[in-house]
Structure 1
Amino acid sequence: MNLLLSRSQSGYKLFKLLPLRFGRGVIFNLHAEVEFTPEERDLLRKYHLEDARINDGKFWPPLRESIAPALIATIISMIPIVLVLGLVSSILGIGLPIYWLLFLVFLGWLFAHFWDNYDNLRIIDLMNGGRTFRCDGVVSLIRREYDMERACIFIRQVLESARHWHDREAIAVPALSREDARKVILTASPI
């Protein structure tokens, strides 16, 4: 198994509205691809591991991080929406539900930013042509490289374990002392 990383750099962006990254800065692109040996590919196919998620895919942290940019984008979007709806409602003589519309705009921005930050990485994403990640700075580039290396270590260990999944494995379980047994029972978790 080989991890192939290639880095590139996008130009300066003065105002990049979608996916709601404001400000000026350099955007890095990290392309990650994993080369598997034929034996490893056979194991991946045999146990249907191509669709296995590599990362934990945590839901709440990216959602929390998406609320503030979505609010900012909604406030910015509110000006033309209120002007247009105010003009339309005064021409037609009816009141339009502006608050509901703004709430829907907020949900749209929230979804757009969340979807950009939510990382659901699977093994197949790294197999066939790899995947490109956008990094906002040097620190996030280095962090993403580290995450990719760590993910490959996990994949390697799963494949090493998969080689022996049809074999019977004997694991010796030692008897615990009275105090250790009490701790295990009271905490209901391994020591």
Structure 2
Amino acid sequence: MIKLFKVKEKQKELAETAAGEPPVKKQTAGHLRLIRDISELNLPKRCTIKFPNGQDDVMHFEVTICPDEGYYEHGAFVFSFQASPLYPHEPPKVKCKTKVYHPNIDLEGNVCLNILREDWKPVLNVNTIIYGLYHLFTEPNHEDPLNYEAAAVLRENPKLFESNVRRAVSGDLVDGTWYPSAYCPYTDEE
């Protein structure tokens, strides 16, 4: 009986292909949940989402965060999200594509955010992650670092940390590492 369903399914797929229509892809529960989560997004001010592979690939998207306060004010930081079919039972993989001087983001783009690791629960969603990332820019945490040098500077000399962030965002050398300019394209009038 099971083979019969597979044969009928294959025949339907072949018929659609012959008719010039693309085969219908089955959507996983994770895909459906992600579509719902994205449709219900309530992004912080000056945050945007885009789908580099087109709207059909909701499992991969990018979020740009432009904080309007704190050390990183006027910066623009792009994060890549890659969700698996097991979403929401496992968190999406999130990487920072913008090289940033930050205690909780290393130079390879790995992000130290507890809800992306041990504190993830299926009731959380993409909106929660985006607000968590936004919070990292308004309140960087030197107590749980990935970039130990930046964390030490934040802890021991906040004024120097602020100066280092400004230099990094403007596209300069900080502690022997060059950072490309990461200014936000939005103006304060928006």
The TM tier, using the shorter chain, reads under 0.3
Per the normalisation by structure 2, the TM-score is: 0.25
Which structure is richer in relative contact order (CA contacts within 8 A, separation 6 or more)? 1
Larger of the two Rg values belongs to structure: 1
